[in-house]
Structure 1
């Protein structure tokens, strides 16, 4: 039942996102396409990559076209999360010509952003492929696009941290100040939320020790030096999971992961997206 509810929620969110995109971009109609292309014309188009990378967002793109032409024929040549070379044909589309032209930019915007995230994520994952550390995303996403951003991370081989404020209690520095201590903050969450998983942000070894004693499930090691992080992992010693965080880059992730942390969270996967270059090209327009 839970999986069914999650699938229904995901579907509703994607439908709402597409509807908002249509309102933003199309509104009363595509005045250029509608003036030039007969409403009964058909078209065939392809999507092709203009660089090497990991493809994501294909199925969401398909749904964009189906909104305008429910009978669209959509043939994907690659799988979600597949790494492809430059100049790869990834989709063939056949259907109403107006729909194919009007839906193009919205669908490409989604796929290009998601593919950009997936491509970046894959680079981070590959950088530590020989270690037992998992790459996580963060909540640093564009409001309204979090579901797609996080799906793109998984397509790239990373894992999702929390989806939002509702599915993991993360006690950060300001929460600690508000509660008075890490111990009190953890106690407050335990008293108010049954079965809550709790993560505590720490910046010193003293805080790590307090978080362990308080019973935190995950201990975030935030902006620590490599030497301090190694000591923190030794302190935790399996009493909880460890997550490294704080301005981690492709240059530093291997050294950070080598400290023995269970997870490395990387905000750059989603907050500094470089769109992956995909183009749509009409092959034929016919009656």
Structure 2
């Protein structure tokens, strides 16, 4: 995260808006819609790297619910200096709140399961995404994931599990995309089975046949409209890349004071 922030700061060097002076001012950031607060600790870190003279005050805490119009934080310092980084700050908060709010929506629909963060995104803002998911209520599990490509490289699913288990101390998760794959690995020593792109009938069948033997993860494209049905099922975790790809950036407003 620090390296990502350093890149942001480097890109801002030399920028100056001639319409803004260097007198002291305060900028109040507020949310224009209801959601889950995220990103405040992170922009505080960014500001401390950017200019130690800037004063930052949180009015909410990450993970809290916020209503439309409520203040999130205030930033005091030279108007010109704060203005230069303002769009970056509102974008980070908006993006993280979008992820956190979507995760919380999914979590509230699940009666027996928990939203999981598989920690498998590799992007410049990887740490920010992880923090946003945590603020939304997701649980990060440190697992070794066997995907379809690794299965092809190893031979078959059972062999892949056995080979991984000999070299990995982490719990092992295997992704499957067909119900027949479940019957291939149900008696193996894999710890988690992720059902990707299963329809509701196939999920119910696996849950009944699994009888609690393996930890089950519902994965793949899990759209919000499926949550009312899936929410009552007896599985352990839910994970979908929609938290990153489909979450929108929340609109963060700014009020300027003296």
Alignment correspondent of 2:161: 186
Cα distance, 1:185–1:224 mapped onto 2, change above 3 Å: same
Alignment correspondent of 1:23: 10
CA distance in 2, matches of 1:249, 1:122: 14
Alignment correspondent of 2:65: 83
Query: Does structure 2 retain, via aligned residues, the 8 Å contact 1:75–1:91?
Result: yes
Of the three residues 143, 146, 154, the one matched with 2:126 is: 146
Task: Encode CA deviations 1:83-110: one digit per residue, 9 max, x unaligned.
Answer: 1111112212222323211221121111
Of the three residues 186, 197, 203, the one matched with 2:177 is: 203
CA distance in 2, matches of 1:168, 1:122: 22
CA-CA distance at 1:137 after TM superposition = 3.7
CA distance in 1, matches of 2:7, 2:163: 39
The worse-fitting range, judged by mean Cα deviation, of 114-123 and 223-232 is 223-232
Query: Does structure 2 retain, via aligned residues, the 8 Å contact 1:73–1:95?
Result: yes
TM-score by length of 2: 0.92
Query: Does structure 1 retain, via aligned residues, the 8 Å contact 2:118–2:143?
Result: no
Task: Encode CA deviations 1:25-57: one digit per residue, 9 max, x unaligned.
Answer: x13x1221xx34444x21111111111111100
Alignment correspondent of 1:264: 238
Query: Does structure 2 retain, via aligned residues, the 8 Å contact 1:138–1:266?
Result: no
Alignment correspondent of 2:144: 169
| Count of residue correspondences | 258
Cα distance, 1:142–1:191 mapped onto 2, change above 3 Å: closer
Task: Encode CA deviations 1:210-243: one digit per residue, 9 max, x unaligned.
Answer: 2222211001112122222122122222222000
**Structure 1 unmatched ranges of 5 or more:** 1-13, 162-166
Matched, 1:244 2:231: no
Task: Encode CA deviations 1:101-147: one digit per residue, 9 max, x unaligned.
Answer: 1221121111110011111111111122xx11111245675711111
CA distance in 1, matches of 2:139, 2:250: 20
3-state SS, counterpart of residue 101 of structure 2: helix
3-state SS, counterpart of residue 97 of structure 2: helix
CA distance in 2, matches of 1:89, 1:228: 46
Cα distance, 1:74–1:210 mapped onto 2, change above 3 Å: same
Query: Does structure 1 retain, via aligned residues, the 8 Å contact 2:28–2:75?
Result: yes
CA distance in 1, matches of 2:37, 2:25: 24
CA distance in 2, matches of 1:214, 1:58: 44
Query: Does structure 2 retain, via aligned residues, the 8 Å contact 1:257–1:264?
Result: no
3-state SS, counterpart of residue 244 of structure 1: strand
**Structure 2 unmatched ranges of 5 or more:** none
Query: Does structure 2 retain, via aligned residues, the 8 Å contact 1:60–1:107?
Result: no
CA distance in 2, matches of 1:69, 1:174: 46
Matched, 1:127 2:106: no
Query: Does structure 2 retain, via aligned residues, the 8 Å contact 1:68–1:99?
Result: no
CA distance in 2, matches of 1:70, 1:190: 48
CA-CA distance at 1:79 after TM superposition = 1.2
TM-score by length of 1: 0.83
3-state SS, counterpart of residue 186 of structure 2: helix
